[in-house]
Structure 1
């Protein structure tokens, strides 16, 4: 496993973090708690010390699973970096909306501390920008939590450059967590350069494009009820077929390197200047084991160019 410093903080993080969205079951067609606990244990055995979760994942369930797994494994608290998120609220019908008001975040941090069975959160992130609450108000309450010792580092997720600039007018900002993968590269235009310039860590989520870049899907793929991938364009119609062809070329290239398509895709993310961490999602044993093969090596310039050709024009690109 590779480790690095989280931006300008003193936190040391594993460059692959375990993503736990799917463990909560929400938008993933349910979950198996016992399997999720074993997956966390597997990640820890690989040397993954950073676990990313959120209050809204399973409406508290994901955080509770993380706490149980760490307790059963007997991991000292200072040996793991727990990152969670706030700024979302839900009702009994599982209707979700953004709420980054200071009052909501004050409540959420206490709820997350209780569910995670800890006295502090290593990295506390605002899940999404809230158009109804001034960013400066949200930033101030996170800064207060940091000063109080409940939060060791302050982060945001899905924030653009303008939103990060507004945040930094009134409070420190240590990280941003945007989507980033071979199939989604918008942050290269602005967020990545801005983060590099200002020492802001980037935690790239969905580097495997919700499983699409693992190479495990076929043209006949289907999803269980409640799995939101069934509504995503990249999993539908001709776009899905085009992505599958790209992945076949990536698999062939990865095989030349003695790697899997997933390992190649995540290594590509880790090798991009400015990326600190890549989140590898898992919800059962075996899904995270492959992550070990994504560390300890780098892409050559030739391989990077071949990947670019595959993504530009999959036909004969490899």
Structure 2
């Protein structure tokens, strides 16, 4: 495992963090508490020290499972928790709400579900255009100064929104989507964060399983699985992305003796990202963590990735389908 110190904070965290959306069950086909707890324990055993969750992941379920897992595991002082705020839900329908009143109520619910007195990193889950960003930032700054949260971050914000947010509060983290297939962050968000000392904790490193190295064209998605609604998983695009994944896997094996999964995560980290989120819901999925940290990519690797994507993905599409309604 590699670790990174976050500037202007007291946090040192693992460069791979465990994402727990799938563990919460919502849009991933249900939740298995014991399996989820075992997955979190397997990640911690592999050296992961940062667990990422959110209230909307299972409408509180993911936070509850994370809290139980950490209580059973012990060594709480060695583990950091990030969670989120500013998404409301009713009857399974999600909406954005970054008002101070919502934030002040929601932080208490998260602290209770997680069984902690302080949240290490507190993210605004999605920007809310109905509330001035300065107002949201001021509410989170009050939480930071009160000790209920240690660090503040934003997720899915663009640079202009971050700039407005920074006018009223300290901003330590930005959490955008980023992986070999979804690279919009490189244009503006990455240079903005580097210029202003905002740490990147990107999500979706495996692009919802497309970069796991285990997905084939016969894979079916049922129930509420979000990939039923993801345009990447509908033909003919699905075939394009699978073809690219196969070519990337061949390159990774030939050049580094690695499978696609560790190659994909290493690619994210070697782009200047401090922390890559890796989702999982079964303990066995944590086994490849150790394969990420004994090699580094070269200029030839980055050139090969660009070439393979250009050859195979002729109709690319981003992750915009995941955005909740304004």
TM range (shorter): over 0.9
> What whole-Å deviation, never above 9, does each CA across 1:145-184 have from its counterpart, x for those lacking one?
0000111001010000000000011111101100001111
Query: Match for residue 146 of structure 1?
Result: 144
Query: Match for residue 299 of structure 2?
Result: 301
> What whole-Å deviation, never above 9, does each CA across 1:261-303 have from its counterpart, x for those lacking one?
0111110000002x11000101111112212211232102222
What does 1:111-190 correspond to in 2, within 5 Å? 111-190=109-188
Count of aligned pairs between the two proteins: 312
> What whole-Å deviation, never above 9, does each CA across 1:38-62 have from its counterpart, x for those lacking one?
0000000001000000011101110
> What whole-Å deviation, never above 9, does each CA across 1:235-271 have from its counterpart, x for those lacking one?
1111110001001111111222121101111100000
> Partners of 1:110 and 1:222 in 2: how far apart?
39
> Partners of 2:137 and 2:290 in 1: how far apart?
36
Aligned partner of residue 214 in structure 1, secondary structure: coil
Runs of 4+ in 1 over 6 A off after TM superposition: none
RMSD of aligned alpha carbons: 1.1
Deviation at residue 305 of structure 1 after TM alignment:
1.5
> What whole-Å deviation, never above 9, does each CA across 1:169-220 have from its counterpart, x for those lacking one?
1111101100001111001110000000000001110011011111211111
Gaps of 5+ in 2: 314-326
> Partners of 1:201 and 1:4 in 2: how far apart?
10
Deviation at residue 304 of structure 1 after TM alignment:
1.9
Structure 1 residue 270 corresponds to structure 2 residue 308 = no
Q: TM-score normalised to the size of structure 1? A: 0.96
**Counterpart contact for 1:2–1:296, Cα < 8 Å:** no
Deviation at residue 136 of structure 1 after TM alignment:
0.8
Query: Match for residue 61 of structure 2?
Result: 61
> Partners of 1:85 and 1:6 in 2: how far apart?
18
> Partners of 2:222 and 2:37 in 1: how far apart?
22
Segment of structure 1 superposing worse, 35-44 or 2-11: 2-11
**Counterpart contact for 1:129–1:159, Cα < 8 Å:** yes
**Counterpart contact for 1:281–1:288, Cα < 8 Å:** no
> Partners of 1:180 and 1:8 in 2: how far apart?
24
**Counterpart contact for 1:36–1:65, Cα < 8 Å:** yes
